[in-house]
């Protein structure tokens, strides 16, 4: 039946004015990764073509995310509601500076990982779907960053979780299955809690649209049911983000897959959890954040310290880096605990920094393994002699993760410590600084053992063990290019932090004072 012969006023239910092509940038990241993933799946037997398809689509993804960020900075928050339905009934995709920045950073990391994977992942890994899973993982990650609907957020979490299961068991080794079981069970519990909390929240406010929830939850204030929902969300996303005391799945699983998979996991997955915490506790339920601030601060401090102590105790580089991921999560949670705009900006900046540096460090661990034949600090040694340039690269990455200038980790820590002292949270500031010191020691330990020492444990001083010549494919341009790209960004953010500071400030401001966000969804009538 044609629409013309029914006299229904569609403007009550649907958006009838045309959409600018630029607004499609909000959904472009999802479409590109789904299309690329499907094409990679179709060509999965053609192991030569797959990396090319993936790299082309991920390059397009980077461009579309950059375009989206430029548009957000230029015109404010961008919203597109699927199917023309008016919010809160249509499913909204809403990109603010926070979401767009994280989507851009993640897509850069994914591109680097795809390039690294072209040299590192063998034919069987490709045939079992490394590239389709990588692209679909990016669908989930970008979807989570860009959606404006809390149930939709759950769906994207599922998408990225299922893809990550696939990546985790790539290779089918015993240890991988063991790690995957721990990872899967904990994450499924967290996702279920997330779903339960969302159901309860829907029961309270009667809507799933984030902007709508933000309005209604502010109207309700803080009461019993809403506090329960907030605590459930905190537990669910703390699990996802690997915050203390629900962080044990991360060191138990991140060292089992291929190193390139560990790299993408360490970069992206926990940060999506942190993003969800920021979105829910600052944009949707600011009263709950204020009520839980002390708890969040305690969790943040313990996460930072247990993370870095774990790193000090490990001899396997991959496990050590896994603990450093956890320690970084603590810093971001500290920003959430303080809750002022500069603190949130620090947390956002730290998330960007952590995505870049953790991926780069895992990639560097892969190179260490290729050069020295092991991931264990007991067996590594003499890498400085084997490749001095790489030793310098690793040291720079180490300084970045410890938060030393002039690298990207320095500025977010400055923001966070400053905000903590201004807000009267001396303990948080002290914890951040102590964690920085201990991280420097942990990284210094890796450098001394793996690079400075002449050979494996027991090599006398002054002796140099000759290392086997590594496979040229593992140390060629395909490996240096992605590490170089990430290192370049890390140095750039360290030397020229103004742009990132500004963007993170915009992101934090739009979380704390969401008028722009709400107007983007509901139109200018919102006060």
Partner 1 sequence: MRTVIFRTIAPYLAALMVLFSVFVLLRGHNEPGGGFIGGLIAASALAIYGIACGVAAVRRAITLHPMSLSAAGLLMAALSGLVSLFTGQPFMTSQWWYVRLFGVEVPLSTPMIFDIGVYLVVVGSIGSIALALEERESD
Residue ranges in contact with partner 1 by CB under 8 A? 2, 15, 18-19, 21, 23-24, 27, 31, 34-35, 37-39, 41-42, 44, 80-84, 93, 132
In the complex, least distance from residue 9 CB atom to partner 1, rounded to whole angstroms:
18
Q: What angle (nearest 5°) sits at the alpha carbon of residue 233, between those of residues 229 and 234?
A: 115
Cα separation, 36 vs 29, in Å, equals 11
Q: Is the CB of 5 or the CB of 461 nearer to partner 1?
A: 5
In the complex, least distance from residue 82 CB atom to partner 1, rounded to whole angstroms:
4
Neighbour-count burial of 116, counting CB atoms closer than 10 A to its CB (0-12 exposed, 13-18 middle, 19+ buried) = buried
Cα separation, 254 vs 183, in Å, equals 9
In the complex, least distance from residue 38 CB atom to partner 1, rounded to whole angstroms:
4
Q: Is the CB of 2 or the CB of 468 nearer to partner 1?
A: 2
Q: 339 phi and psi, to 5 degrees?
A: 80, -5
In the complex, least distance from residue 95 CB atom to partner 1, rounded to whole angstroms:
13
Q: Is the CB of 46 or the CB of 502 nearer to partner 1?
A: 46
In the complex, least distance from residue 422 CB atom to partner 1, rounded to whole angstroms:
42
Q: Is the CB of 43 or the CB of 439 nearer to partner 1?
A: 43
Q: Is the CB of 83 or the CB of 221 nearer to partner 1?
A: 83
Question: Which residues neighbour 510 within 8 Å (Cβ) at sequence distance 6 or greater?
Answer: 77, 96, 97, 98, 516, 517
In the complex, least distance from residue 247 CB atom to partner 1, rounded to whole angstroms:
32
For the four alpha carbons of 205, 207, 212 and 214, in that order, the dihedral sign comes to positive
Closest among 242, 257, 262 to 307, alpha carbons compared:
242
Q: Is the CB of 131 or the CB of 449 nearer to partner 1?
A: 131
Q: Is the CB of 44 or the CB of 182 nearer to partner 1?
A: 44
Give me the residues paired with residue 79 across strands.
Answer: 94
The first and second tokens of residue 435, run together, are 């964690």
Distance of CA 47 to the CA centre of its chain: 28
**Helix (H/G/I), strand (E/B), else coil: 251:** helix
In the complex, least distance from residue 448 CB atom to partner 1, rounded to whole angstroms:
48
Give me the residues paired with residue 80 across strands.
Answer: 93
Q: Is the CB of 24 or the CB of 151 nearer to partner 1?
A: 24
Neighbour-count burial of 248, counting CB atoms closer than 10 A to its CB (0-12 exposed, 13-18 middle, 19+ buried) = middle
In the complex, least distance from residue 86 CB atom to partner 1, rounded to whole angstroms:
11
Q: Please give the C-alpha separations between residue 262 and each of 121, 134, 170, 358, in angstroms, as whole numbers.
A: 13, 12, 11, 10
């Amino acid at each position: 039946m044609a629409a013309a012969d029914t006299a229904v006023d569609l403007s009550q239910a649907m958006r009838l004015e045309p959409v600018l092509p630029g607004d499609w940038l909000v959904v472009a990241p999802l479409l590109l990764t789904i299309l690329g993933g499907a094409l990679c799946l179709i060509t999965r037997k053609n192991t030569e073509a797959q990396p090319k398809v993936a790299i082309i689509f991920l390059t397009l993804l980077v461009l579309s995310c950059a375009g989206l960020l430029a548009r957000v900075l230029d015109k404010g928050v961008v919203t597109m509601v699927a199917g023309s339905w008016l919010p809160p009934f249509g499913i909204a995709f809403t990109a603010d500076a926070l979401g767009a920045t994280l989507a851009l950073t993640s897509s850069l990391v994914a591109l680097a990982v795809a390039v690294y994977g072209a040299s590192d992942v063998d034919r069987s890994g490709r045939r079992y779907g490394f590239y389709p899973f990588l692209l679909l993982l990016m669908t989930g990650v970008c979807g989570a960053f860009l959606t404006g609907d809390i149930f939709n957020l759950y769906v994207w979490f599922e998408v990225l979780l299922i893809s990550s299961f696939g990546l985790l068991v790539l290779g089918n080794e015993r240890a991988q299955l063991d790690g995957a079981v721990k990872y899967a069970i904990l994450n499924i519990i967290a996702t279920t809690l997330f779903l339960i909390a969302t159901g309860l929240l829907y029961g309270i406010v009667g809507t799933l649209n984030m902007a709508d929830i933000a309005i209604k939850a502010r109207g309700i204030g803080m009461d019993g049911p809403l506090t329960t929902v907030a605590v459930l969300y905190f537990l669910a996303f703390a699990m996802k983000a690997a915050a203390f005391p629900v962080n044990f799945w991360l060191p138990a699983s991140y060292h089992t897959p291929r190193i390139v998979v560990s790299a993408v996991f360490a970069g992206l997955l926990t940060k999506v959890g942190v993003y969800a915490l920021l979105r829910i506790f600052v944009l949707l339920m600011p009263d709950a954040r204020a009520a839980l601030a002390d708890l969040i601060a305690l969790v943040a401090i313990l996460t930072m310290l247990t993370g870095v102590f774990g790193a000090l105790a490990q001899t396997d580089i991959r496990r050590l880096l896994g603990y450093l991921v956890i320690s970084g999560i603590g810093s971001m949670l500290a920003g959430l605990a303080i809750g002022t705009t500069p603190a949130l900006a620090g947390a956002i900046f730290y998330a960007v920094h952590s995505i870049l540096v953790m991926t780069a460090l895992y990639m560097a661990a892969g190179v260490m393994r290729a050069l020295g034949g092991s991931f264990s600090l007991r067996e590594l040694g003499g890498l400085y002699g084997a490749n001095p340039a790489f030793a310098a690269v690793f040291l720079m990455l180490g300084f970045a993760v410890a938060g030393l200038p002039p690298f990207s980790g320095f500025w977010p820590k400055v923001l966070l410590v400053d905000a903590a002292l201004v807000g009267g949270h001396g303990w948080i500031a002290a914890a951040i600084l102590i964690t920085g010191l201990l991280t420097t020691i942990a990284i210094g330990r890796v450098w001394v053992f793996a690079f400075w020492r002449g050979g494996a444990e027991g090599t006398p001083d002054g002796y140099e063990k000759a290392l086997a010549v590594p496979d040229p494919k593992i140390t060629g341009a395909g490996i240096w290019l992605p590490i170089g790209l990430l290192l370049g960004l890390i140095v750039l953010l360290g030397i020229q932090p103004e742009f990132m500071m500004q963007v993170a400030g915009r992101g934090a401001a739009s979380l704390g004072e969401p008028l722009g966000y709400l107007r983007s969804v509901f139109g200018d009538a919102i006060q």
